C-alpha cells in the first residue's frame, strides 16, 4: 500500500476525538496509506511514496449522504421545481412523481448523472434508496463512491383518481417478491468485492407497508447488523392517513409496533404532531422520537420547493436526535443542502441559532456516519477511511477566507471543491469526475426523460400532458410582432 502525504495544507478540518468535534488545523500535513488515514497534523517526517503540495488548499471530510433517489430524480428536472397538488397538502408525491419518474431501463444513466454531481460536491458516501434492478450494485461500485444500498420494497402503491383524495392499491404477493429481491440485493452489496458497499433495509413508506412487513424488515436488518430506513412524516396526507387507519400519529404507530428505536432511520421526519402545518395537539411525537434513539434523514431542498420544512435541524440536534443530510432531489449538491438547512431553520424559527453551520456540517459528516454505524467515516483522524475533499482556497468565491468552512458553504459551494478521494483513490480531479462518462450518462438521461414524458397522459388521472401538469415558466411563440422601423 502506497503512502501519500499532502504537505503544508492551509487548513485541515480535523476530528478531535477527545472533544468529539471538528477543529481547524493550520499549516498541517495529511497522510494516508492505502485507504486509511495515518496522520493529521504538522510535521510528518515518516517515509512516503508520494508527496502532494497542499499549499492553497483545505482538506475536509467526505460528506455522508443518508438519503437519495438517483434512479429517478435527475429526470424530474424542469418538472417538479414549483408544482404540487393544491388539494393534497401541496405535496408532489401523489399526482406528479407517480406520472413522471423514469422507466426502469433508464435508471442506469440517471444514477450515473446523480452520482457524478454528488462526487463533485464532496459526497464520498451515498445511501441510495432505489428499487432493486439488475446492474444496480455494479453501477454504484463502478463510480468509485462508497455506497449504502437501500432497496425500497412495499406492499401497496398510492394513487389519486380525482386530485383531492389518495387511495392505495395493495398487492401482498408483489410485496413478498419485492422483499425477497431486496434481501438478495442487500446480501450482494455486502459481499461486493470492492469493499465499499454496504446496505440498509428499506420498507419504502410508512403508509405503503403493513405492520408485519415492518417487523420482518427490522428482523432481517438486525440479523445483518444494518439499519432500516423508511419514509415517514413526509406529508400532511400521510399523517392523517395513519391517524385515520390506526388512531395514531406516524410516530406513535411506529412505536406501537416496536420499530421506533435505534435501528430506524426516518426520512424525513418533518410532520410531527406539533408541526404548525399539522397542529394536532393530542400526541407527543417530538419527545417520543427523542427518547427512542431513532435518527432522521433531513433533505431540505425537496420540501422547500413545496413550501415545507423541518422544525428544525437545531431543535432536533440540540435535543440529542441524530440527524443526517440527504439529497432527495436534483441537483445532487450536498453543499447546497447544508446551506439551505441552515437558512430554512433560521427563517422558520425566527432564530438564527436554530440552524447553525455547525449543526448542518456535522449532520452531513459525523451525523451521517453515526446513522450508518461507521465511526471511520465523516471525520479526518488516524484510523479513519481516506474519504476527503480538497478545497481550493484561492477560488475567488472563497476569498476572503477568514472562516473557510463558511466561505465554502455560503459562497463558493461545490465550485471550490477541486479534488475528491474515496477509500484513498482519487475520483474527482480538477473538478472533473474521473469514474463516470458524464456526457454519455447525460445523453441517456435526456432520452429517458423524453420517452417518459411522451406517455404522461396515460398515467395521469385526468389525462393531462406533461406541460399541462407542469406548465413552462414562459410560453413559446413562433415569432414576435414586427418592430417599427427606426426613424
Helix (H) or strand (E) holding 326: strand 323-327
Cell of 279: 397542529
Q: Pairing relation of β-strands 146-149 and 123-128? A: parallel
Q: Are 217 and 191 in contact (CB under 8 A)?
A: no
Residue 303 counted as domain residue: yes
Q: What is the pLDDT of residue 33?
A: 98
Q: How far apart are the C-alpha atoms of 485 and 409, rounded to whole Å?
A: 50
* pTM for this prediction: 0.96
Residue 430 counted as domain residue: no
> What letter does residue 130 receive in the DSSP assignment?
-
Q: Are 110 and 71 in contact (CB under 8 A)?
A: yes
Question: Measuring CA to CA, how many Å separate 249 from each of 49, 273, 379, 396, 415?
Answer: 58, 7, 36, 49, 42
Q: What is the pLDDT of residue 484?
A: 77
Residue 36 counted as domain residue: no
Q: What is the pLDDT along the chain (487 residues), one digit of tens a residue?
A: 999 999 999 999 999 999 999 999 999 999 999 999 999 999 999 999 999 999 999 999 999 999 999 999 999 999 999 999 999 999 999 999 999 988 888 999 999 999 999 999 999 999 999 999 999 999 999 999 999 999 999 999 999 999 999 999 999 999 999 999 999 999 999 999 999 999 999 999 999 999 999 999 999 999 999 999 999 999 999 999 999 999 999 999 999 999 999 999 999 999 999 999 999 999 999 999 999 999 999 999 999 999 999 999 999 999 999 999 999 999 999 999 999 999 999 999 999 999 999 999 999 999 999 999 999 999 999 999 999 999 999 999 999 999 999 999 999 999 999 999 999 999 999 999 999 999 999 999 999 999 999 999 999 999 999 999 999 999 998 888 877 777 6
Task: Compute the residue count for the chain.
Answer: 487
Residue 365 counted as domain residue: yes
> What's the domain range around 299?
62-378
Q: Pairing relation of β-strands 63-68 and 323-327? A: parallel
Cell of 264: 430506524
Q: Are 40 and 382 in contact (CB under 8 A)?
A: yes
**DSSP per residue over 201-235, as a string?**
BEE-BTTSS-HHHHHHHHHHHHHHT--EEEEES--
Q: How far apart are the C-alpha atoms of 154 and 169, rounded to whole Å?
A: 11
- Interacting residues of 24 by C-beta distance below 8 A, sequence separation 6+: 11, 12, 13, 14, 404
Cell of 173: 404477493
Q: How far apart are the C-alpha atoms of 51 and 11, rounded to whole Å?
A: 17
Is the backbone peptide bond immediately before 331 cis, with ω within 30 degrees of 0?
A: yes
Is the backbone peptide bond immediately before 400 cis, with ω within 30 degrees of 0?
A: yes
Residue written as cell 460536491? Answer: 121
Q: Crossing angle of helices 172-190/211-224, nearest 10°?
A: 10
Q: How far apart are the C-alpha atoms of 434 and 3, rounded to whole Å?
A: 21
Residue 397 counted as domain residue: no
Residue 316 counted as domain residue: yes
Q: How far apart are the C-alpha atoms of 71 and 109, rounded to whole Å?
A: 8
Question: Measuring CA to CA, how many Å separate 160 from each of 11, 97, 334, 461?
Answer: 53, 12, 33, 7
Residue 391 counted as domain residue: no
Per DSSP, the three-state class of 208 is coil
Q: How far apart are the C-alpha atoms of 184 and 335, rounded to whole Å?
A: 33
What totals of helices (H) and strands (E) does the chain contain, helices first? 16, 21
Cell of 353: 441559532
Q: Are 325 and 283 in contact (CB under 8 A)?
A: no
Q: Are 281 and 243 in contact (CB under 8 A)?
A: no
Residue 142 counted as domain residue: yes
Q: Are 27 and 58 in contact (CB under 8 A)?
A: no
Q: What is the pLDDT of residue 107?
A: 93
b/e burial code for range 376-387 (CB count within 10 A of at least 16 → b): ebbbbeeebbbb
Q: Which of 26, 21, 20 has its CA nearest to residue 58?
A: 26
Q: Are 50 and 5 in contact (CB under 8 A)?
A: yes
CATH number at residue 165: 3.20.20.140
Residue written as cell 392499491? Answer: 169
The tally of domains found in the chain comes to 1
Q: What is the pLDDT of residue 384?
A: 98
**DSSP per residue over 290-356, as a string?**
HHHT-EEEE-HHHHHTTT---S-HHHHHHTT--EEEEE-SSS--HHHHHHHHHHHHHHHHT-GGGS-
Q: What is the pLDDT of residue 482?
A: 79
Amino acid at each position: 500500500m502506497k503512502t501519500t502525504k499532502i504537505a503544508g495544507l492551509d487548513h485541515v478540518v480535523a476530528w478531535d476525538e477527545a472533544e468529539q468535534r471538528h477543529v481547524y488545523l493550520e499549516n498541517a500535513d495529511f497522510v494516508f496509506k492505502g485507504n486509511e488515514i495515518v496522520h493529521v497534523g504538522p510535521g510528518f517526517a515518516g517515509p512516503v511514496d508520494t508527496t502532494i503540495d497542499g499549499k492553497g488548499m483545505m482538506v475536509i471530510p467526505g460528506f455522508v449522504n443518508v438519503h437519495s433517489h438517483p434512479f429517478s430524480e435527475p429526470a424530474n428536472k424542469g418538472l417538479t421545481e414549483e408544482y404540487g397538488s393544491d388539494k393534497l397538502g401541496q405535496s408532489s408525491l401523489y399526482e406528479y412523481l407517480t406520472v413522471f419518474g423514469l422507466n426502469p431501463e433508464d435508471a442506469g444513466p440517471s444514477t450515473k448523472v446523480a452520482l457524478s454531481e454528488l462526487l463533485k460536491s464532496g459526497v464520498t458516501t451515498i445511501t441510495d434508496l432505489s428499487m432493486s434492478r439488475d446492474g444496480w450494485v455494479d453501477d454504484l461500485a463502478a463510480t468509485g463512491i462508497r455506497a449504502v444500498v437501500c432497496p425500497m420494497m412495499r406492499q401497496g402503491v398510492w394513487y389519486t383518481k380525482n386530485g383531492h383524495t389518495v387511495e392505495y392499491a395493495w398487492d401482498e404477493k408483489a410485496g413478498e417478491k419485492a422483499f425477497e429481491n431486496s434481501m438478495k440485493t442487500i446480501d450482494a452489496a455486502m459481499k461486493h468485492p470492492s469493499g465499499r458497499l454496504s446496505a440498509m433495509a428499506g420498507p419504502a413508506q410508512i403508509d405503503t407497508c403493513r405492520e408485519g412487513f415492518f417487523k420482518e424488515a427490522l428482523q432481517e436488518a438486525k440479523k445483518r447488523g444494518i439499519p432500516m430506513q423508511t419514509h415517514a412524516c413526509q406529508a400532511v396526507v400521510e399523517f392523517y392517513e395513519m391517524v385515520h387507519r390506526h388512531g395514531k400519529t406516524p410516530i406513535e404507530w411506529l412505536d406501537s409496533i416496536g420499530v421506533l428505536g435505534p435501528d430506524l432511520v426516518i426520512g424525513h421526519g418533518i410532520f410531527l404532531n406539533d408541526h404548525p402545518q399539522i397542529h394536532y395537539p393530542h400526541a407527543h411525537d417530538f419527545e417520543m422520537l427523542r427518547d427512542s434513539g431513532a435518527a432522521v434523514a433531513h433533505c431540505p431542498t425537496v420540501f422547500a420547493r413545496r413550501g415545507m420544512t423541518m422544525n428544525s435541524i437545531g431543535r432536533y440536534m440540540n435535543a440529542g436526535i441524530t440527524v443526517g443530510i440527504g439529497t432527495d432531489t436534483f441537483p445532487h449538491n450536498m453543499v447546497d443542502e447544508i446551506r439551505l438547512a441552515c437558512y430554512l431553520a433560521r427563517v422558520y424559527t425566527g432564530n438564527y441559532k436554530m440552524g447553525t453551520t455547525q449543526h448542518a456540517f456535522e449532520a452531513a459528516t459525523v451525523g451521517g456516519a453515526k446513522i450508518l454505524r461507521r465511526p471511520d467515516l465523516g471525520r479526518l483522524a488516524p484510523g479513519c477511511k481516506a474519504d476527503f475533499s480538497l478545497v481550493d482556497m484561492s477560488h475567488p468565491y472563497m476569498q476572503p477566507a477568514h472562516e473557510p468552512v463558511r466561505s465554502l458553504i455560503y459562497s463558493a459551494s461545490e465550485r471550490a471543491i477541486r479534488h475528491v478521494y474515496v477509500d484513498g483513490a482519487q475520483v474527482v480531479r480538477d473538478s472533473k469526475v474521473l469514474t463516470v462518462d458524464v456526457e454519455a450518462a447525460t445523453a441517456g438521461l435526456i432520452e429517458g426523460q423524453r420517452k417518459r414524458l411522451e406517455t404522461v397522459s396515460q398515467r395521469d388521472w385526468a389525462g393531462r400532458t406533461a406541460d399541462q401538469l407542469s406548465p413552462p415558466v414562459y410560453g413559446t411563440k413562433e415569432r414576435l410582432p414586427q418592430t417599427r422601423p427606426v426613424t
